[in-house]
Amino acid sequence: MNGDEDQIRALIAAWADATRVGDLAAILNLMTDDVVFLTPGNAPMRRKDFIGAFKSLAGSVEIDGRSNIQEITVTGDVAVCWNLIEVKITPQEGGTTVKRAGNTLTVLRRDSDGKWRIWRDANMLAPA
């Protein structure tokens, strides 16, 4: 591995940790201002949409995710990461845990501050 790959792996781990504790500010620091998330059957989700969706879940569910990075390719200031993800979403007031798993393909961009951030993300998680 090289320094760029290490930084991208750390970003993915930081995303999972921040999601687990509900730290929206930390998550937003891991994405570009013009980020786009693609999910099956939904319109593209932009940063402001992500914020709204995250806030709607805050305090009502616990989210626990695991990543299994398959591949990272870095070319200049752009990187692509193929990742297998498993997510468990559990209502805090009881109820059934929802499990989703599948592939994601994430395009990251190195910003002017030298940090990698998520720029595009195609998430193909399905019920598991």
For residue 75, the SS3 value is strand
User: Pick from 15, 18, 7, 10: which is nearest to 123 by CA?
Assistant: 15
Q: How many domains does the chain have?
A: 1
pLDDT along the chain (128 residues), means of 10: 92 97 97 97 97 94 96 98 97 94 98 97 95
Pairing between strand 31-38 and 116-123? parallel
Task: Domain of residue 36: give its range.
Answer: 3-127
Give the per-residue pLDDT at 1: 59
Contact 80, 55 (CB under 8 A): no
User: Pick from 123, 126, 39: which is nearest to 83 by CA?
Assistant: 123
> What's 110's domain CATH number?
3.10.450.50
